[in-house]
Structure formats: structure tokens, C-alpha cells
Structure 1
Amino acid sequence: MSHDEVAATEGLLAFIGESPSMFHTCAAIRRRLDAAGFTYLPEGDAWTVEPGGAYYTQRNNSSVIAFRVGERALAKDGRFHFQLTAAHGDSPTFKIKAVPELEGPEGTRRLNVEAYGGMIDYTWFDRPLSVAGRVLVREGSRVESRLIAPEEPIALIPSLAVHLDRSVNDGFSPNRAVDLCPLITAGELGEGAFDAYVAKAVGVEPEQVLARDLFLVNRQPACVWGAAQEFVSSPKLDDLMCAYVSLEAFLAAQNPACVTVYCCFDNEEVGSNTKQGAMSTLLADTLTRLTAALGLTPEDYRRALAKSMLVSCDNAHAVHPNHPEKHDAGNRCRLNGGLVIKEAANQHYCTDAFSRAAFEAVCDRAGVPYQTFANRSDMAGGSTLGNLSNIQASMHAVDVGCAQLAMHSSYETAGVRDVTLAAQALQAFFEADLTIDEADAIELG
């Protein structure tokens, strides 16, 4: 890998390091938008939007949408439209319950957790763990939200020794209520220790803590590795890799002819049907409000959607070196081969021939490689947020992602070069002057 490709990956790892929870991801994105001169538009305020301006809004401190209005976006030629990317900022993990502690034998105490999303459970064993998220605290008559993400590991889920389970290597299906309870003390800490720890971390007394959304965090450091520096491994590559590269592309792109939009949604891993998920009204609310603030009508908004295009960005399964038989013979992708276009006949991905052709034409013109992914025909695949966001704001859309291994592991692997290639492809999309004629033709200006 080249020095520039490795440097681009270090930027990704810095972003992931800032983002141990979806709330921290939103904050990390907002910091970059603020540094780039974007104006924050709170959902509860009136919006003023002008051509040439750059803006963002957020919901729940866990989802964020940013947009740039091109100087010529309002040209009187009936071409007002949006070009969007959408990724998600949450990852599979374990959430800590309201009553957080479980008593154990001989004075031990454990955390009481439940699954958030569909993770590979065994990858969470024997790793240094911490917690991250938000805490709601009482300050006088005011209740405030504060972020917490201690760097020191405070918990670990210990495996049962092979001497005590001789069949463990024959197959292990852990019970989440029994086997996956993180150990926090061998006896030195008493009842209420976790709540006291959280309160101290946010600078209040335990009785001031009213509620919390806290999740387990794998504190194993991310790294670039391999004799040729080909690989990057880290927690949360799905989907912070796409959240990062699409943000980098959005900030670097210039397109005076349309409104470019960057979205990072929460709750994709649990179905997106929350007030801040891709299935919520957040995207439609943002697009309708910015349209109205520009002096346009609801009719103009609906016409704009028909001429708009979304690139849904969520990572894809690279062909596994030990199990190539799990992948389609022709439609499979590899690490460091470029952004992956994903398609499924059951419409769990939003790609169709029209959107695929549009995105491929953009990449071809920019000279950026891309790949194809489809599931084996006898295996059920996953889904992502493209189709879900289209429920509220329907437009042409394509599903893409970076190839990776061990998706939904607590420590995932992707290709170093794909950080650069994905950013290049998405920047080319943001900068393309697209004219969409129903589902008949696309003009790349």
C-alpha cells in the first residue's frame, strides 16, 4: 500500500476512536462539519437556507444530516434535486440494562446486558471492555445529557476453561443470559459500584443520574497490518467505515448544480424504525424544510425527489479466504478491489438496473474501480437502510459498501486501499451533474 493510502486509513481509525457509541459518532461528525464552516440548524428552530450555504441538523444526538446548497441549485430549468449518501453510526454490541449489576459467586459482580443487533457472540469473550454512551443527570431543575467513554477497560467476559468444558471446541452456542455477563469485580467492589463509577465519570453524585444509554465497547486498539500493509482491523468497521468515507467525500466535493446531502442514521442494526432511524421522518423532514426555506413549494419538493438519487452506504461481505463456498461464484468481492455495488432480487437492497447503471457510469467516468456483490441463491442475505429511507422519501437509490471480513464481529477487517477508493467513488457521485429523466435516462453533465 502507498503512504497516502495508509494515511487515509489512519484518518478512518482516528474517526472510529472518537466514536465508541452512536452518540459519540454524531458528535465526531458534528465537529468535522463545524470545522468546515457548516451552520447548525436545530430541528426546533426556524430555518434560514440560502444558495451557496452549508448546513446540518441532528436528532436525538445520534443521527445527523448535512447539506450543501449549490449556487445554481435554484436555476429556473426545473432541475432542482438532491444527491445523497446515507450510512449508519451504530454497530452490534451489548446494552447495559437499567438495573446494571448481577451478583455472582464468591463476591463477584457482573454487568446485566442484552444484545443490541446481531453480533457474533463468541468474539466478545476474553477482550478488554469498557462502556460508552450517554447519561442523563439532574442539575437543579434541569436534566442534562452527557457523553461518557472511559478509555480504561473496566470489564471482561471470561471464557470457561477447556478443562471445565471438554466439548467447547466441538461447538459453542453461548447463552446470552448466562455466558455473556461481563465481570466487573472479583470482590473489591460492592453493590452499586457500577452506578458510582458512571456518576464519577460524568462528575455528579450517583443520585443525580436519572437514566443512561450505555453500551459495551471493545477497547482492543485498531491497527493497519500485514507485510504489505494491506489490512485494517478495528471495532465498528460496519458501518463507521462508510460513515467516514462518505463524509470525507461530501466535505471534499463541490457541486453548484444541486443540493448534496450527507446522512448518518442511528439504529440500523435494530431495524431503523425509531424516531432517529432511516425509517423515521428525519430525512423527509430535513428535505422538505430545506426546500421550503429556499422558497419552493411542496410540489417542487415532490418533483425534486423524482430527479434525485441516493447512495446507501453499508459494508459488504468480502470473499472469505477459508470459506469461498459461502459466496456466489460470480458476484463476489474482495478486499482492496473498490466499492461494492450490492443487489438482491428480494429487494433487501435498493439497487436496480437504473441506479446501478447511473452509479457505474459515474465511477467509470472518474476512473474508479468498483465490484459486484449478490448472495448465494440458496442463502438468505442481510438488508440495510436504503430501502427503509425510501419509505419516507422515495427516489432512485443504489446500495454500495466497502468489502470486509468478519462482519458483526467485535473486531472486523477490511482493506486499506478501499478507504481511498470508496472516498474517490463517492466524491465523484457528489460532484456529478446528474439529470434524471424518470427511469428512462441519466445525463452526466
Structure 2
Amino acid sequence: MGILKGLMDFLDSSVTMFHAINECEKILQNSGFTYLPENEKWNIKAGKYYTKRNSSSLIAFDIADGDYHFQISAAHSDSPTFKLKDKPVIELNGYLKLNVEGYGGMINATWLDKPLTIAGRVMVSADNGIKARLIHIDRDLLIIPNVPIHFNREINKGFAFNNQIDMLPIFSAGNLKEDDFNKIPAKELGVSPDAILAKDLYLVNRQKASVIGFDNEFISSGRLDDLECVYTSLIGFIEAKNNNHINVFAVFDNEEVGSVTKQGAMSTFLSSTLDRINLSLGKSREDYYRAVAKSMLISCDNAHAIHPNHPELFDIKNRPVLNKGIAIKESANQKYTTDAFSRAILKSILDKRDIPYQTFANRSDIAGGSTLGNLSNTVVSMNAVDIGLPQLAMHSSYETAGTKDVEFAVCALKAFFETNIDIRDDGVSLED
């Protein structure tokens, strides 16, 4: 239960992308990693370091003497939710409700009729300028009520929720006024309401992570996609014994909305970090190009487990189940990066250590989704494979995965980071 308990604590604390990166930072610091701010000069040698951008994306790297190339895992810190607008309060018919906008492709119905709160980042005025403060109001604060079935008789036949009408949470029935809203985060942060300059606040499902099932086979939580991959790849990264190359652990923000931001997978964050490592180690531009050509990326984003009530939606053969290992994902239209070369490398690593794995592909008549691997490869191109932990109810406010897969994923990523992958023109050499 050690790894599972660690994941559950991580999930409960990582209520937004900012909190997820903050939790990763704590784990890295406790493991001996040194912080390198992006806007300061880097003086590095063999050792363990990390940097971050926007406090919502992070890249850590473990530099060992030996063959010069990068072995990278990449996951994302964000999950589908609702974001408060700058002027969020609507006063109508005796209620105070929050004006929110959908962030990513969530399952709307899963957000209704359950306790919610708000969390995120608040910019407050300080003595010498502006300071960012994390906020998580740890109490039942909001609810989005359903319309009674008496007024919506067709709701069980399918209903299209309107985000501007149906998905606005209420936080008062008349005791508060519109101007009172800023008092809520101000009180939490111990500042005056006038000190709050700007906010990145999101709705949070208050349900804690839980182990479910008579034989404890399921883990359920908000934000399993993709914090389960963030945590398991992080633990595999820090536990790996690296004596030869440069291991890199990356977490990007904004995957759920396209990755085209300064802190997303399509930003300069990864390329500039690898470039600065190269410069700090006294390497040439030619050395960098050769290192990238020999490098490999594992894109870690959760996969769809076969649904117990709708198996017809899944491919006939490539349909992962819970608790049977990570899923290696493929797509002929390149929504995933996996090809025969990268699949063979990963399978060889896992087979050698008897680590179970499965395969995922969509039905040929269902488009499916995509992830960050193919997007990051447009900025720094290298051999890559897509994996994920099988889960149910992806993009629900409360998702479900298999408890055994947590340890399988840690073992898989640890094996990847510990194996020296020496890519050559005629194939690849794999050495422990």
C-alpha cells in the first residue's frame, strides 16, 4: 500500500496544475534535487536538478557521466474542470453563483449535485510588487444543482448541458452580496480583498481519493488523468539508479486545451531546457543534435480500459483491462507516437524484468483522443512511445483505475530510466 497511499495523498493535494507542480517539487527536493530558476545562470555538472515554468510545468533531470543522450518521460499536470472568469459573481433570483467556463473536455453531468470548492493561484500585491500565492479552500463551498426531473422529463434520455446556463455553481442563497466574493480567498490567504490583483481559480471536486471494491481492486479519484502518470513516472524517475546517461522527467500544463501555451508541450520549455543542459556541460551544437538523435521519449497519459457495460466501443483485440499492466498506445493517424521501433525497445525492457503490459488502439471507426507526445515531438523530435495506465470514466470529475497498475507503472518507468538505450543506425543496444 506504500506506493498506492503515496499516490492517493498526491491526488488529494494536487487539486490544480499549480498544486501538482508544488507537490512534485516537494518530492524532488526531498530526493536531493536542486532548483534552477529559468531566469538565472545555470552552472551544472553531473547531479540532480529541476526547473519550472509558470509554476504549472516542471522539468527535472538526473545527469550521469557516460553516454550523452536523453531518456525522457512526459506527462501533464492539468485535468478537465471549470475556470472562474475574472468577474465571476452573478447575482440572480436571490442566489449568488459563479460564472465559470469549461476547461478541457469534461463529462458535465459528473460535476452536478456534489460538494465543490475552488483552488488555484492568486496574485496579491506585496511590498515590492506582486507575489503568487497558492490557494485551496478546504471546505464544501459550492454546488451545481440539477434541474428536477419534474421539469426535465427527458433528462434520462440524454440531455445537452449548456455551460453558460446549467453548469454555474451556487455559493449563497442571499446571505452574501456580490462584493463579498473576494473576501473568501482573501480570508484564506490572510490578506485584504483589495490586495488581490488577479486569480487563476478552478472548481475542484471535494471527493477524496479512495480504494474501492471488495478486494481493493480499484482506485477512484478526481484527476487520475493525468496525475496518476505524473506520480508514477516521478517515483520511477527518482528511484532509478542512473550511471550512464541523462534522465529527464517532464510535466507540461495545458494538454487538455491543446498544449499551445508558453508552458505546454508545444512550447520552448523542453527544447530550451535540453539546450541549456548541453551548454552548461560544455557541449557543442553538433553534440546536442547527436544526443537528441540518440534519445527517447515516453509520453505518459492514461489509457482507456475496456468498459464493463460497453465493450462494443473498444477494439476487438487491443483493449486493456484493469490491473494487468500499463497500456502501450498506438494510432495509425499518429495521434500517438508509438511505432514498431519504439514499441520494440519498450517491450524488450519490460520483458527482461517481467513487467506486464498491454496494448491499446481505438476501434477503426472511432477517432479517439490524442496526447502530448506527438505535440512535443514537433519541438524536439526523437524516438517516442505512448503509454498510459488503464482507467474508466476518463474526464469524469471522479475516475477509476486499477490498484495493481500503480506499482506496475512505477516499475516500468524505473526500468526505462535504468536501461541505457543506445540507438544506432542498425538498431539499438539495451544495457542495464
TM-score clears 0.5: yes
Q: Please name the residue that 1:294 is paired with.
A: 281
Q: How many angstroms does 1:380 deviate by? A: 0.7
In the TM superposition, what are the counterparts of 1:79-228 in structure 2 within 5 Å?
79-105=67-93, 107-228=94-215
Taking structure 2 as the reference length, the TM-score comes to 0.99
1 CA distance for matches of 2:180 and 2:339?
Answer: 53
Q: How many angstroms does 1:142 deviate by? A: 1.1
Q: For residue 59 of structure 2, what is the amino acid of its counterpart?
A: I
2 CA distance for matches of 1:256 and 1:388?
Answer: 30
1:137 aligns to what SS in structure 2? Answer: strand
The answer as to whether partners of 2:90 and 2:178 remain within 8 angstroms in 1 is no
Q: How many angstroms does 1:49 deviate by? A: 1.1
Q: Please name the residue that 2:5 is paired with.
A: 10
Q: Does 1:370 align with 2:357?
A: yes
Cα distance per residue 1:72-111 (max 9 Å; x no partner) = 23xxxxx410111000010000000000101121x21100
The unaligned stretches of length 5 or more in structure 2 are none
Q: For residue 12 of structure 2, what is the amino acid of its counterpart?
A: G
2 CA distance for matches of 1:339 and 1:68?
Answer: 24
Q: Please name the residue that 2:14 is paired with.
A: 19
Q: Select 1:63's aligned residue among 57, 63, 73.
A: 57
2:243 aligns to what SS in structure 1? Answer: coil
Q: CA RMSD in A?
A: 0.8
Q: How many angstroms does 1:57 deviate by? A: 0.3
Q: Does 1:30 align with 2:25?
A: yes
2 CA distance for matches of 1:219 and 1:310?
Answer: 34
Q: Does 1:441 align with 2:427?
A: yes
Give the number of aligned pairs: 431
2:271 aligns to what SS in structure 1? Answer: helix
Q: Which moved more, 1:331-340 or 1:164-173?
A: 164-173
1 CA distance for matches of 2:207 and 2:326?
Answer: 27
Q: Which moved more, 1:188-197 or 1:299-308?
A: 188-197
1 CA distance for matches of 2:234 and 2:181?
Answer: 36
1 CA distance for matches of 2:258 and 2:320?
Answer: 25
Q: How many angstroms does 1:392 deviate by? A: 1.1
1:286 aligns to what SS in structure 2? Answer: helix
1 CA distance for matches of 2:179 and 2:297?
Answer: 47
Q: For residue 59 of structure 1, what is the amino acid of its counterpart?
A: R
2 CA distance for matches of 1:141 and 1:416?
Answer: 48
Q: How many angstroms does 1:14 deviate by? A: 0.4
Q: Please name the residue that 1:47 is paired with.
A: 42
2 CA distance for matches of 1:259 and 1:323?
Answer: 43
Q: Please name the residue that 1:3 is paired with.
A: none
1 CA distance for matches of 2:236 and 2:383?
Answer: 20
Cα distance per residue 1:264-287 (max 9 Å; x no partner) = 111100001100001000000100
Q: Please name the residue that 2:328 is paired with.
A: 341
Q: How many angstroms does 1:140 deviate by? A: 3.4
2 CA distance for matches of 1:383 and 1:197?
Answer: 38
1 CA distance for matches of 2:102 and 2:153?
Answer: 27
Q: Please name the residue that 1:76 is paired with.
A: none
Cα distance per residue 1:230-250 (max 9 Å; x no partner) = 000000000000000000000
The unaligned stretches of length 5 or more in structure 1 are 1-5, 74-78
Cα distance per residue 1:20-46 (max 9 Å; x no partner) = 010011110001111111111100111
Q: How many angstroms does 1:7 deviate by? A: 3.1
Q: Which runs of 4+ in 1 moved over 3 A?
A: none
Q: For residue 4 of structure 2, what is the amino acid of its counterpart?
A: T
Taking structure 1 as the reference length, the TM-score comes to 0.96
2 CA distance for matches of 1:335 and 1:27?
Answer: 29
Q: Does 1:248 align with 2:199?
A: no
1 CA distance for matches of 2:242 and 2:177?
Answer: 59
Q: Please name the residue that 1:415 is paired with.
A: 402
2 CA distance for matches of 1:140 and 1:65?
Answer: 31
In the TM superposition, what are the counterparts of 1:256-335 in structure 2 within 5 Å?
256-335=243-322
Q: Please name the residue that 2:415 is paired with.
A: 428
Cα distance per residue 1:49-81 (max 9 Å; x no partner) = 112x100000000100000011x23xxxxx410
1 CA distance for matches of 2:10 and 2:379?
Answer: 29
